[in-house]
A = this chain, B = another copy of it.
Amino acid sequence: MAVKIGLVGCGTVGMGLIELLDRKKDFLREKYDFDFSLVFVTDLIKGTVFSKDGLDTGELKETAARGGLSESGYAGTGSCGLAELLSETRPDIVCEAAPTDYRTGEPGMTILSSALKAGASAVTSSKGAVGLNMAGLKKLARENGVHLRFESSVLSGTPLINLVRGPLAGCSLSKAEGIVNGTTNYILTRMESGLSYSEALGEAQRLGYAETDPAGDVEGFDAAVKVCIMSAEFFGSALSIDEVRRAGITGVTEADVANAARSGRRIKLIAGVSRAGESVSGYVEPRAVDLANPLASISGAANAVTLTTDNLGEITVSGPGAGKKETAQGILSDMLEIVSLRSAGK
């Protein structure tokens, strides 16, 4: 089935998606009947390029890697806005991979709303908008007969959102809990080798895992937004980020890590949401986890979530929590699901 894709945001994730689509074009057509054309790419810094007939992903990845999209040979380049791009190219799916603001949900909120209102399904890898108002966006999707998907917003492409939606259909969840921030897990893992908190943080910054201002990770904000997403998706319960009980890892000392090790445990930043009756509560906190717990073996920048279900007890999924092609894979998985629903007239 032919599917027209628009891409907003051409940083690491957007580039990853262009590369992934280019690399697996034939595979996707043969295995999933997914015959895409990329009709626009727009980025705040790199500029805009569009073509109703579809852009060449091979050429595009070269051009975008050099810097400016408008250097490409396509007629449709320049600085036209999203509304114009949507009406000009009429995409079936808009992928949003822009940086996110947890408090306002922007620019994702505006991008996703615009896409849905224009009758395009929307896929996002950013957390702000779905963390803030998932119900509103889902309603907008329903009203316009299209779909909203966001697998990559938690654990990048490691299946979690779509795992619960699909293969775990029939189960009721009572808890989702795990390690959802790779930066803090990397720091805690390195502290087990004897590094101090500030040494481990410095190393994470040098390796590009942690931002220059690491507060979003180490104070647990990033994990808390993911808790909001899990709460809204798994329990239909909208928690604001301030309603998530939150403690980061800034207070964790070498002595804490060493003490935990002596009692056969590891300190992990555990993020979770649980339901008891009608009450749903979310939390982010450092916790000493027993080695028998599957979460204890999650090292470095890896992530994992344990789902507590009625039919299966505990199911744990682990894998990468971030990364260029890893996040792009989540977006691709969402698009493949949307196309299978669309081909079915659902």
Listed in ascending order, the chain A residues whose CB lies under 8 Å from chain B are 20, 24, 27-28, 32, 151, 156-159, 162-163, 166-172, 291-294, 296-299, 311-320, 325-326, 328-329, 332-333, 336-337, 341, 343-346
Interface centre among A163, A312, A320 (most CB of B within 10 A): A312
Closest beta carbon of chain B to A115's beta carbon, Å: 21
- Write out the residue numbers on chain B whose beta carbons fall within 8 Å of the beta carbon of A311: 20, 157, 325-326, 328-329, 332
Contact A170:B28 (CB < 8 A) given known A318-B315, A319-B312, A344-B346:
yes
Report yes or no: B336 in contact with A169, Cβ–Cβ below 8 A. Answer: yes
Minimum-distance CB pairs A-B, first 4: A344-B344, A159-B167, A311-B329, A162-B167
- Main SS class of interface, A: mixed
Report yes or no: B170 in contact with A151, Cβ–Cβ below 8 A. Answer: no
A307's nearest neighbour on chain B, judged by CB, is B319
A298–B314 Cα gap in the complex (Å)? 12
- Write out the residue numbers on chain B whose beta carbons fall within 8 Å of the beta carbon of A299: 292
- Write out the residue numbers on chain B whose beta carbons fall within 8 Å of the beta carbon of A169: 32, 332-333, 336-337
- Write out the residue numbers on chain B whose beta carbons fall within 8 Å of the beta carbon of A345: 344-345
With beta carbons under 8 angstroms apart, the residue of B163, B166, B170, B315 that contacts A332 is B170
Report yes or no: A333 in contact with B297, Cβ–Cβ below 8 A. Answer: no
A336–B20 Cα gap in the complex (Å)? 31
Report yes or no: B294 in contact with A333, Cβ–Cβ below 8 A. Answer: no
- Write out the residue numbers on chain B whose beta carbons fall within 8 Å of the beta carbon of A297: 291-294, 296-297
Report yes or no: B163 in contact with A167, Cβ–Cβ below 8 A. Answer: yes
- Write out the residue numbers on chain B whose beta carbons fall within 8 Å of the beta carbon of A336: 169-170
- Write out the residue numbers on chain B whose beta carbons fall within 8 Å of the beta carbon of A166: 162, 166-167, 337
Contact A170:B329 (CB < 8 A) given known A163-B159, A345-B344:
yes
Contact A326:B312 (CB < 8 A) given known A163-B167, A170-B332:
yes
A259–B293 Cα gap in the complex (Å)? 23
Report yes or no: B167 in contact with A27, Cβ–Cβ below 8 A. Answer: no
